[in-house]
Amino acid sequence: MPGAIYAEGLVKTFGDVKALDGVDLDVPEGTVLGLLGPNGAGKTTAVRCLTTLLTPDRGRAVVAGIDVLKHPNEVRRSIGLSGQFAAVDEYLTGRENLQMVGQLYQMKAKEAKARAGELLDRFNLADAADRPSKTYSGGMRRRLDLAAALVVSPPVMFMDEPTTGLDPRNRQQLWEVIQELVSGGTTLLLTTQYLEEADHLAHDICVVDHGRVIARGTSDQLKAQTGGERVEVVVHEREDIAPAEEILRGLGKGEVAVEAHTRKLTVPVSGGAKLLAEVIRELDTRGVEIDDIGLRRPTLDDVFISLTGHVAEAPSNGENGGNGASGADAEAKEDAK
């Protein structure tokens, strides 16, 4: 049985750009899928196709058991979406924005008001609740946008870079909200540039690049694929590099990578802590002075680099939220023609 979010062979082309080139997804109910990929990989396009804002050229998608292409209106009623760019009404206050969403979803005025108050507290917006949201900082807008996506608790949620531009405390709080939602049975597809976030929240991870899924699995599975443990040594002086390299070549089980300007040497190993102790003994015997040494397991960052050939881009600041919203609207309208 397909999961709460299911896609098969999604293709979307913009001119010469194949934003999606045959994407398959299957997210079991009550789980979180983390969609990772470099800028321009197709993450937002995938989210837009799944949330009815864009019509794919080819492929099929079923969300909350409803065919996205055949019954977009019904899908819209079953999902919540928070976009990469906050889509709040600048001239309304935070509170009014949230109440308006509640009313769009046919909540009673009193109920919408209570829900808005609750969410404003939850997202640390209570003090600014009655100011027009155009006076909000980038991080505040983003929080308001997330709160808006949570006014009704839909069974399926999509969040496109939910914590970009949030400070660590607000990010942590959002993670808690997300975990609560999911433990309550919500299914979530989340895109993020923070690999730590995917590691923390996602049950499964899909890495996309050039519109294709290039890897999928749990965070542990992806890390295991990338390779095992490594010993990393930073020697005190340049002269120490050569003897250290020799030692590592002898004890490691692969090529020694040397970064001369930082005096850092890295080698794949097996045997963990025991081997680390041996490396330290050998270095000591040879009189090699070290500044730092450690056993490193692959992180999701390593996975990302080895798969896509580059580091995850530094996320753009939330301050420029808002800009893109009009673009998304225009696109959605154009697509609806």
Q: At what angle do helices 138-149 and 168-183 cross, to 10 degrees?
A: 10
- As measured in angstroms, the least distance from the Cβ of 83 to ligand ATP is 10
**What does 331 interact with, of Mg ion, ligand ATP, none (CB < 5 to 8 A by kind)?**
ligand ATP
Contacts (Cβ under 8 Å, ≥6 apart) of 48: 54, 328, 331, 332
Kindly list the residues in this chain that would bind Mg ion in the complex (CB under 5 A): 43-44, 84
Distance separating alpha carbons of residues 174 and 166, to the nearest angstrom: 9
- Residue 52 or 84: the one with the smaller Cβ distance to Mg ion is 84
- Residue 44 or 133: the one with the smaller Cβ distance to ligand ATP is 44
Residue 305 φ/ψ region, left for φ over 0, alpha for ψ in the -120 to 50 degree band, beta for the rest: alpha
Identify the three-state secondary structure at position 219. Answer: helix
**What does 137 interact with, of Mg ion, ligand ATP, none (CB < 5 to 8 A by kind)?**
none
- As measured in angstroms, the least distance from the Cβ of 193 to Mg ion is 9
- As measured in angstroms, the least distance from the Cβ of 140 to ligand ATP is 21
- As measured in angstroms, the least distance from the Cβ of 270 to ligand ATP is 36
Distance separating alpha carbons of residues 180 and 161, to the nearest angstrom: 18
What secondary structure, in 3-state letters, does 128-197 show? HCCCEHHHCCHHHHHHHHHHHHCCCCCCEEEEECCCCCCCHHHHHHHHHHHHHHHHCCCEEEEECCCHHH
Residue 63 φ/ψ region, left for φ over 0, alpha for ψ in the -120 to 50 degree band, beta for the rest: beta
Residue 180, classified by CB atoms within 10 Å of its CB into exposed (0-12), middle (13-18) or buried (19+), is: exposed
**What does 165 interact with, of ligand ATP, Mg ion, none (CB < 5 to 8 A by kind)?**
none
- As measured in angstroms, the least distance from the Cβ of 321 to Mg ion is 12
State which H helix or E strand residue 330 sits in. helix 323-336
- Residue 44 or 93: the one with the smaller Cβ distance to Mg ion is 44
- Residue 17 or 290: the one with the smaller Cβ distance to ligand ATP is 17
- Residue 44 or 187: the one with the smaller Cβ distance to Mg ion is 44
Q: At what angle do helices 109-122 and 138-149 cross, to 10 degrees?
A: 140
Write out the two tokens for 148.
Answer: 């808006």
Kindly list the residues in this chain that would bind ligand ATP in the complex (CB under 6 A): 14, 17, 19, 37, 39-45, 84, 331
**What does 41 interact with, of Mg ion, ligand ATP, none (CB < 5 to 8 A by kind)?**
ligand ATP
- As measured in angstroms, the least distance from the Cβ of 211 to ligand ATP is 7
Residue 335 φ/ψ region, left for φ over 0, alpha for ψ in the -120 to 50 degree band, beta for the rest: alpha
- Residue 51 or 84: the one with the smaller Cβ distance to Mg ion is 84
- As measured in angstroms, the least distance from the Cβ of 196 to Mg ion is 18
**What does 17 interact with, of Mg ion, ligand ATP, none (CB < 5 to 8 A by kind)?**
ligand ATP
- Residue 36 or 276: the one with the smaller Cβ distance to ligand ATP is 36
**What does 83 interact with, of ligand ATP, Mg ion, none (CB < 5 to 8 A by kind)?**
none
